[in-house]
Amino acid sequence: MTTADPYVDPASGVLRNRLGITDQTTLTAVERDMTYVTLGRLASRPLPGAYDLSHLQAFHREIFGAIYPWAGELRTVAIAKGELFCLPQHLQAAGSDLFSGLAREHHLRGLDRDPFLDRLTHYLGEVNALHPFREGNGRAQRAFAGQLARQAGYVVR
């Protein structure tokens, strides 16, 4: 990125966080340990919601809220990993369209295994392309998809 990233501390180059950590190696380790505990809890206790963008935001907030002040908020900057993800000004509309499709498919309930996996991977790919958060998209997506799968009668690892 050529412009300043408001999520990053310019002095350290590390994501601004509630813990005051300015070393990337330390932040990575602390984040891994803290999110591991939360993800384990989410695997056994469902997070209420409608399997929409707000629900995905709630997962992100639950997983990262103790670390990042912006946890659960849609990002305001463009990001890329190889390819550019959905632009921030389109996140709300694109997310609404995406999750409306999931709702029309009854959140994948009642599908046999192969059609379920086909549709789940479709939606995971679409949510990944959306990449609504500055960091932590993969973990939020996996927790969201894991709960969606469990409520549809499947377990994904």
In angstroms, the Cα distances linking 11 to 73, 75, 79, 136 are: 24, 21, 20, 22
Give the pLDDT confidence score for residue 48 in this predicted structure.
Answer: 98
**CATH level 2 (architecture), domain 24-151:** Orthogonal Bundle (1.10)
pLDDT for 28: 98
Residue 156, pLDDT score: 86
Q: State which residues of the chain have pLDDT below 70.
A: 1-3
- Domain extents in the chain: 24-151
What per-residue confidence (pLDDT) applies to 1?
43
Cβ distance 131 to 85 under 8 Å?
A: yes
Which helix (DSSP H) or strand (DSSP E) does residue 57 occupy?
A: helix 53-64
